[in-house]
Amino acid sequence: MPKVVGIRFKPVSKIYYFDPVGFEDLEVGDYVIVETTRGREAGAVAMAPKEMPEEEVLSQLKGIIRRAEPWDLVQMEHYRHLEPKTLEVCRERLAEYGLPMRVVKAEYNFDGSHLVFYFTAEKRLDFRDLARDLAKTFKTKIELRQIGVRDEAKLMGGLGRCGRPLCCVSFLSEFSPVSIRMAKQQDLPLSPMEISGLCGRLLCCLTYENEYYAEVKKRLPQVGEKVNTSYGPGKMTGINVLKETINVELESEVTVEVPAEDVTSKGKGARGKRRRDRS
């Protein structure tokens, strides 16, 4: 099995794998200089060197150039402090060109030899003249990279509906697919205002409990199904997945809440009495 080391270039971001040959003693938190598609970058070790199955290594691994020196980290911090002013200048230039795009972040690599501007736009744009102007202004290699609204939220940050910092900023290193079916599975209101995040897309947190809801609902009767309870026969009108209880409308038109394990499907003997899976 090949040995790999995991490098992260930003906090709470994707981990990239590199070949640790010659640097097997690296520890989590160490900084190294590596070659990437954007040129040389400084990254922090997020996963110490270890063996990994070949099927999990999807491409040929690049090696580590060297350990980061104190001066590299000083430069990196210097250019980070320049980014807000750089972003301001870029927005001024953008206004002169009148392009329908919004620049949301400027990002230097560790030594200032590469500068990326992240922007959002509703369509593809020809920004070559703007890029040339920015290259003359900042005297470095310029890249303008279009991003989606979820990536914009991750870059900008903010507070979610729960009042806590956005998940994508706090701990989510990669975005997972989120579907409206997950909201239905969890019996949430389907109003976009209720289940959308700051980015305008479905809340990432819909994925957290979806598997549990799906598992529990497989074991419980379906809404509308006729069941027997200790109070008598009735019809299922609702489920509380977290409490694993069922609302049943009795023949007397009184609705009761009973534990799922105390309910028997009426007329479906093969399914028998539903009980919790305690395995």
Instruction: State the Cα–Cα distance between residues 22 and 1, nearest whole angstrom.
Output: 17
Residue 275, pLDDT > 50, answer no
Percent of the chain with pLDDT over 70: 95
Report which of 11, 13, 2, 14 is spatially closest to residue 49, judged by C-alpha positions. Answer: 2
Mean of the pLDDT values across residues 96-112? 94
Percent of the chain with pLDDT over 90: 60
Tell me how far CA of residue 231 lies from CA of 88, 234, 248, 254, in angstroms: 69, 9, 10, 10
Residue 178, pLDDT > 90, answer yes
List the structure tokens of 85: 């002013």
pLDDT, tens only, 197-207: 999 999 999 99
Cβ count near 229 (within 10 Å):
17
What is the enclosing helix (H) or strand (E) of 247? strand 245-250
Cβ count near 260 (within 10 Å):
21
For residue 267, report the phi and psi dihedrals to the nearest 5 degrees. 75, 10
Task: Report the Cα–Cα distance between both ends of the chain, in Å, rounded.
Answer: 35
pLDDT of residue 278: 40
DSSP letters, 6-53, are: EEESSTT---EEEB-TT-TT--TT-EEEEEETTEEEEEEEEEEEEE--
Mean of the pLDDT values across residues 113-140? 93
Classify residue 117 as exposed, middle or buried by CB count within 10 Å of its CB (0-12, 13-18, 19+): buried
pLDDT category at 260 given cuts 50, 70, 90 is: confident
Residue 266, pLDDT > 80, answer no
Name the residue type at position 28. Answer: V
Identify any residues that bridge with 80 across adjacent strands, giving them in sequence order: none
pLDDT of residue 274: 43
pLDDT, tens only, 228-237: 888 888 888 8
pLDDT category at 262 given cuts 50, 70, 90 is: confident
pLDDT of residue 216: 87
Residue 1, pLDDT > 90, answer no
pLDDT category at 269 given cuts 50, 70, 90 is: very low
pLDDT of residue 210: 93
Instruction: State the Cα–Cα distance between residues 226 and 188, nearest whole angstrom.
Output: 24
**DSSP secondary structure letter of residue 218:** H
Residue 160, pLDDT > 70, answer yes
pLDDT of residue 272: 42
Residue 268, pLDDT > 60, answer no
When the pLDDT of each residue in the chain is averaged and rounded to a whole number, the result is: 89
Identify any residues that bridge with 117 across adjacent strands, giving them in sequence order: 106, 144
Of 130-134, 147-151, 175-179, 238-242, where does mean pLDDT reach its minimum? 238-242
Write down all domains in the chain, each with its CATH number in brackets. Answer: 3-68 (no CATH), 73-147 (3.30.300), 152-207 (no CATH), 220-265 (2.30.30.140)
Q: Is residue 71 helix, strand or coil?
A: helix
Instruction: State the Cα–Cα distance between residues 234 and 260, nearest whole angstrom.
Output: 14
pLDDT, tens only, 19-64: 999 999 999 999 999 999 888 999 999 999 999 888 778 778 999 9
Residue 91, pLDDT > 90, answer yes
pLDDT category at 273 given cuts 50, 70, 90 is: very low
pLDDT of residue 222: 81
Residue at token pair 């499907």: 265
pLDDT of residue 277: 44
Task: Measure the CA dihedral 75/15/51/59, to 10°.
Answer: -100
Residue at token pair 């290594």: 57
Report which of 205, 199, 207 is spatially closest to residue 150, judged by C-alpha positions. Answer: 199
